[in-house]
Chain A
Amino acid sequence: MGSPAKQTLPCTAGIGLRAPHYREVLQNLPQLGWVEVHSENFFGGGAPLHTLLKVREHYPVSLHGVGMGLASATALDEEHLNALKLLCARVEPAALSEHLCWNHTSGMVIPDLLPFPYTTEALDNVVRRVAHVQEKLGRQLLVENLSSYLSFQNSEMTEGEFLAELARRSGCGILFDVENLYVNVRNLGVNAADFIKAIPAESVKEYHLAGFSERDGCLVDTHNQPVYDEVWKLYETVLHHLGPRPTLIEWDSDIPQLPVLLAEVEKAQHYLEVCDVCITG
């Protein structure tokens, strides 16, 4: 098949494609480098998958999972993994990603992206699970840094160090969410420069940008706003140190009209084109 979806993601800006925009995107085919969708929304097939396969005829598609819970301290959910494998076979995505978080605990699944202590025990656990996923799916997984509202006192390393070590040991790629880093800087006092320095540039395969909201002094990763100036500024810094990569605009609630998203894409595209890269080893 000569469709664009089999290629890797182009180093341009794309959007998180959500249900309210399916029809308009398929009708007007706006100029977009690529699109990303949440993998689980297409599990099982049916009507949603038909739409995705139409989209895939025109754009490279990235599958972004929110339900695997890579850092859970339970056995991997094989049923979930099988559903993802089947979806990958059908969609042939240009990229595949999950979050550095957990969700399974003693018989329950918590539908959220939850932080965990960055210990060597946790690292061994995530390395094992990521390796298993990559082996089963026969491809590289990108793992995304998390936005957190709390931190554990027993952490033995920073999230950046954890992610770098995970990439080194498992061979996974890194999906660098710039807004998540910004949220952690403001909430937890994470040092952005240290985080960027910890991340190996060659492992970074994708960036995410989004908006957040504020609740009782805490920034919450709600994806319901335009990208804020501070996040654009941080993105510029990240581009400078790690280089340009495919960049996604995420907007998941209070979803605006498509032109608003496309304007954000254009802005990201501009940053990608003018970025002054200075990768220090």
Chain B
Amino acid sequence: MSALQADLNAFGRAIVHNDEPSFAITGNYQSYSSLVAMEIYRNNYRGNLHDVLAGAYPVIKQLVGDDFFRFMTRKYIERHPSHSGNLHHYGADLAQFLTTFEPANSLVYIADVAELEWACHTAYFADDGATLDIGRLALIPPDQYENLILHLHPSCFVVRSQYPIATIWQSHQPGACSNFHIELDSGASIALVNRLADVVQVTEVAADVADWLDFLQAGEPMGSATEATLANYPDFDLFCALQRLVTQQLLTKIELREKK
């Protein structure tokens, strides 16, 4: 290892793991000591990552309160260092972390809400899909519809929960009515996330449509995606599902799969 690498690694450990700085730093400055300097770097480190998480998880922060959020993220930061110079990548594992974070056990839905917020965060930065050219559909003979590949917008995500996470999310948005009441045993809900005119929206979606969207996102042509959905949900309404794709601008491209 080069001298430079050794110095920077030691500096990094001193910040992240609170190690004693083993590299040669000047001990005293104009009006403070190296101990103060190291504490500033350690605080910056934790503070910056806390702020990143607060930016990505505003609903979680409201649900648990600022102090608990700081405590909770501090534990997360200790276990999950950042791996990217792009801080919008930081925090992807928070939902997973919360499933085993005992102090938050009483908030049974918190990990699912975190998963939904991460989907929203990702949707906000997701690239634009192609602009749908619906005229292309008229050029395709109807007997070929089963071979259509429907490309969904890159900001489209489906998040499933045993709890009403879409309602919880919506009631914690700016301007939402504050005296809400959520029936936790109101049953499972499935949230559909997408970005429309630069705004991330969360709507609810039925289980059959959610499964169908999953099949489409996995690259299944419309015919087999619909068949597989109908196998579990005989009442699945393909026309309604297609309408939703168009009205919510979830559809970016229609392609005819090449015959093998």
Contacts and interface: CB of A to CB of B under 8 A. Distances in A.
B245 to A, nearest CB: 20
Contacts of A186: 30
A151 B25 contact: yes
A105 B8 contact: yes
Contact of A111 (B3, B4, B45, B195): B45
Interface in B36-87: 36-41, 44-45, 48-49, 52, 81-87
A108 B31 contact: no
A149 B23 CA distance: 15
Contacts of B34: 150
A253 B195 CA distance: 27
B48 A105 contact: no
Given A68-B85, A112-B44, A218-B31, 5 more contacts: A110-B12, A110-B45, A151-B29, A152-B23, A216-B40
Leading 3 A-B pairs by shortest Cβ distance: A67-B85, A105-B12, A217-B32
Interface stretch (A72-80, A162-170, A238-246): A72-80
Given A72-B8, A117-B4, A216 B86 contact: no
B40 A215 contact: yes
Interface in B126-146: 126-128
Contacts of A119: 3-4
Nearest to B40: A149
A107 interface: yes
Interface stretch (A27-35, A43-51, A254-262, A268-276): A43-51
A187 B25 CA distance: 14
B106 interface: no
A51 B124 CA distance: 12
A73 B2 CA distance: 9
Q: Which secondary structure characterizes the binding site on chain A? A: mixed
* Max count, chain A CB within 10 A of own CB: residue among B25, B29, B34: B29
A40 interface: yes
Interface string A138-155: 000000000001111110
A93 interface: no
Size category, A interface: 35 or more
A252 to B, nearest CB: 11
Given A73-B4, A112-B45, A80 B9 contact: no
B130 to A, nearest CB: 13
B198 interface: yes
Interface in A74-105: 74, 77, 79-80, 83, 102-105
Given A73-B2, A112-B41, A149-B37, A40 B30 contact: no
Contacts of B240: none
Nearest to A220: B40
B244 interface: no
B16 A108 contact: yes
Interface in B78-130: 81-88, 90, 123-128
Contacts of B231: none
B95 to A, nearest CB: 20
Contact of A110 (B5, B16, B30): B16
Interface of A: 40-41, 43-48, 50-51, 67-69, 72-74, 77, 79-80, 83, 102-112, 114, 116-117, 119, 121-122, 125, 149-154, 186-189, 215-218, 220
Interface of B: 2-5, 7-9, 11-12, 15-16, 23-26, 29-32, 34, 36-41, 44-45, 48-49, 52, 81-88, 90, 123-128, 155, 195, 198-200
Contact of B48 (A48, A111, A125, A189): A111
A43 B88 contact: yes
A143 to B, nearest CB: 16
B86 A67 contact: yes
B78 to A, nearest CB: 12
A276 B127 CA distance: 48
A148 to B, nearest CB: 8
Contact of A150 (B5, B29, B81, B155): B29
Contacts of A111: 45, 48-49, 52, 82, 87, 90
A154 B10 CA distance: 14
B128 A46 contact: yes
B8 to A, nearest CB: 5
B212 to A, nearest CB: 25
Contact of A117 (B7, B29, B198): B7
A116 B4 contact: yes
Given A150-B26, A187-B30, A46 B124 contact: yes
A184 B32 CA distance: 13
Contacts of B2: 73, 121
28 contacts: A45-B127, A45-B128, A46-B125, A46-B155, A105-B12, A106-B12, A108-B12, A109-B81, A111-B48, A111-B52, A111-B90, A112-B44, A117-B7, A119-B3, A121-B2, A149-B41, A150-B25, A152-B24, A152-B26, A153-B26, A187-B29, A187-B30, A188-B26, A216-B32, A217-B30, A217-B31, A217-B32, A218-B37
